[in-house]
Structure 1
Amino acid sequence: MTMPQSLLGTIIALMLATSANAQVAASSMHSATIVLVHGALVDGSGWRGVYDVLTRDGYHVSIVQQPLTGLDDDVAATKRVLAWQDGPVVLVGHSYGGAIISVAGSDPRVKALVYVAALQPDIGESSAEAAPPRPEASKDLRTTKDGFVVLDPAKFAADFGADLPKAQAAFMASSQVPVSGSVFSAKLTQAAWHDKPSYAIIATQDHALDPERARWMAKRAGSKVTLIPASHAVYISHPRAVARVIETAAHDVSFGRTP
């Protein structure tokens, strides 16, 4: 039996309206926005997998592209992005990005911090003091005449992303963003994790940041810890798992809960 055209049109209109209302309802549930901060040697494009999960789940996400020219410069770049946000923010940092969000997280818009295989220095402490480089990774560093640091491209995959596809790791090794060596000796003037809830993802197969040192920093900060069997590039190799921790932080912020 053929359905009357008018009835079919009505059904389609109702379906579209229901879908639109569901999307609005889902979006309205997420009062917290997400700001992602990358670490040393890479840029914000590495967050693509996490970004895709978060935006698909209805979150507004912004990604900082800091210059890696100095801690103050990188904090300033992060604060510029924070200034664009409406409502509460969950600020997320990977690796050296953890030092950045510890300072930038003092912004009143920031309600929670998520550290992804990241440094968590204290006030008056540098990144190098908080977590000295692992010996096997330290020997693979190369320093330019003007004081910028990269990893030996031949060692990049093993040190940074052993669980990444070979082609992807090779591309990242060839597209490294040199980081000023000064960022690792700069002492923090603020550490937002003292006053704000924090979450820490520890990559248990990390060859860049010692997992035990990461545990120690997270315990000191009182962070809620999630363990993921992954390399230092956990945010790239396990985007769904990382996104889930970020969403937990956002959910807690939205409903006034603490970890």
Structure 2
Amino acid sequence: MKAIRPLATAMALAASAISAISAMTTIPAAHAATEPVKNIVIVSGSFVDGSGWRVIHDILTQKGYKVTVAAQPHTSLDDDVAATREILDQQVGPVVLVGHSSGGAVISAAGERAKVKALVYVSALLPDVGESLAQVIGSKPAPSNSVRPTQDGHLFVDPARFHDDVGADLPENRTNYMAISQVPATVATFNTQIWAAAWHHKPSYAILSTEDRALSPDLQRWMYQRAGAKVTEVKASHLAYISQPDQVAKVIDDAANAR
């Protein structure tokens, strides 16, 4: 009987230690699930760079967010997704991923990362798996089509039409400069079938620009409804993030704070 008592005591101590270790390992997991989102990663669409997001960057930074704009090579959809994933890998903690225009396809693919907690689409395209940007755009053409091809397989917006079709609610001196400093996209990017659509299983939010002449508002509404996104309609052009930064920033902030 004397030998049994020390053995029982040792077993009880071991069980207590295992219980303590188990508790220590479950606490961080529970904490991670409620960790607040403080990282915002923004993906620009075709034909523009990231400079137009400056005001939204400033609004969100003042709210305590770390904002990063993922520069896009605009050479292929694979390259754009890879560039976005590289930025995502640099973030510490959960992320809200924001995409404008064709950047919607990029965040849909790159958004499969576990750290991406929500997706925000701004006047954006949301192709499903097996669909291309060109295919989706062709299903509901825009009110105006100013996109022109080049002989080497690139695309650009006719500079003479940039203001009226892309940013009619912005001063002409601004859109005129954007028109002559475009980042050309490639035909291949628009013809590539997307291989992932994170909006199927991640919370999605969307800005519908009702005065958009570059991307059909009806198409936006249909894509957003298909994705089950929470939609905010904004009276704005395709460049809603420049002309209505407060409203767009609010949607991003709401996505980050949703529980």
TM-score w.r.t. length of structure 1:
0.84
Residue 77 (structure 1) aligned to one of 77, 83, 87: 83
Structure 1 segment 173-212 matched on structure 2, within 5 A:
173-212=179-218
User: Shift of residue 131 of structure 1?
Assistant: 2.6
Q: Quick one: structure 1 residues 135 and 233, their matched pair in 2 at CA, closer, same or farther if it must change by over 3 Å?
A: closer
Q: Which residue of 2 aligns with 1:134?
A: 141
The separation in 2 between residues aligned to 1:230 and 1:36, in whole angstroms, is: 19
Q: Is the counterpart of residue 151 in structure 1 residue 174 in structure 2? A: no
SS of the residue 1:131 aligns to: helix
Q: Point out where structure 1 has 5 or more consecutive residues left out of the alignment.
A: 1-28
- CA deviation string 1:116-160 (max 9, x = no partner): 00001100111122232735532x222111110101100001111
Rate the CA distance shift 1:135–1:237 in 2: closer, same or farther, 3 A. Answer: closer
Q: Kindly state the Cα deviation for residue 58 of structure 1 after the two structures are TM-superposed.
A: 1.0
| Separation (CA, whole Å) in 1 of partners of 2:151 and 2:135 | 24
Alpha-carbon displacement from aligned partner over 1:182-214 (angstroms, at most 9, x marks no partner): 111110100000010000100000001111110
Instruction: Determine helix, strand or coil for the equivalent of 1:149.
Output: strand
For 1:94 and 1:232, the matched residues in 2 are separated by 9
Partners of 2:147 and 2:209 in 1: CA distance: 21
Partner residue, 1:39: 45
> Among 246, 250, 253, which residue is 1:240 paired with?
246
What SS does the corresponding residue of 1:150 show, helix, strand or coil?
A: strand
Q: 1:62 maps to which residue? A: 68
Equivalent residues, number? 224
Tell me, what secondary structure is at the counterpart of 2:96? strand
- 8 Å CA contact retained: 1:30, 1:59: no
Q: Percent identity?
A: 54
Larger Rg, first or second structure (1 or 2): 2
TM-score normalised to structure 2 length: 0.84
Q: Matched residues in 2 for 1:85 and 1:119: separation?
A: 25
Query: Does structure 1 residue 250 correspond to structure 2 residue 242?
Result: no
Cα distance in 1 between the residues matched to 2:239 and 2:37: 28
Classify 1:130/1:197 alpha carbon distance in 2 versus 1 (closer, same or farther; 3 Å): same
Q: Of residues 36, 50, 53 in structure 1, which corresponds to 2:59?
A: 53
Report the residue type matching 1:243 in the other structure.
Answer: A
Q: Does the 8 Å contact 1:112/1:249 carry over to 2?
A: yes
- Counterpart selection for 2:231 from 220, 225, 236: 225
1:100 and 2:90 are equivalent in the alignment: no
CA contact under 8 A between 1:204 and 1:231: conserved in structure 2? yes
Residue 106 of structure 1 deviates from its aligned partner by 0.5
Displaced runs of 4+ in structure 1, greater than 4 A?
A: none
Tell me the C-alpha RMSD between the 2 structures.
1.3
Distance in 1, matches of 2:56 and 2:136, equals 27
Which AA in structure 1 matches 2:220?
A
